[in-house]
Copies of this chain bind each other. A is one copy, B any other.
Amino acid sequence: MKTQLTVRGNVATAPRRVVTDSGTVIVEFRLAATERYFNRQTQEWEDGTTSWYTVSAFRRLAENVFRSFSVGDPVIVSGKLTIKQWTSKEDKKGTTPEINAETAGHDLLLGFTDFTRYTKSRSPLVAEDSHDGPLIDHGWEEPEALSA
């Protein structure tokens, strides 16, 4: 069973777009999700812990995320969570929660959107995409550049 989750948060880094040798478009950004909780003593809502995620989108979703999301935007991301362990060249170790996005969108709790439906003529790069492309196992390894 995949670990599925939906996170509301803010785009914390400018989405970065990479095209692999085989032509797959990948977009990646950092997402900051700050919890809100009610403080009984002050009787006010306050910010709690901020959770950080690395979000990856593939193919058509990647193109649309790249075109739509800017730093600071409140967004929703839904997809598969993996907690990645990594070791750097300097032997530093760390943990990064990664979300392989199945879908994403602007969070309408904090603003409104004008939507333009994707058509092949508007975005020729990913015209070959299948509807369910982003989640199909693609037998392709994440490039070093992205996971650093």
Contacts and interface: CB of A to CB of B under 8 A. Distances in A.
Interface of A: 1-8, 33, 35-41, 45, 49, 51-53, 57, 60-61, 63-65, 67-68, 70, 73-76, 78, 81-85, 94-97, 102-118, 130-132, 134-135, 137, 139
B111 A116 contact: yes
Contacts of A63: 112
A14 to B, nearest CB: 15
A73 B132 CA distance: 17
B107 A111 contact: no
B111 A113 contact: no
Given A61-B109, A65-B108, A103-B108, 5 more contacts: A40-B139, A45-B132, A49-B82, A76-B78, A111-B115
Contact of A106 (B3, B6, B94, B106): B106
Contacts of A111: 64, 115-118
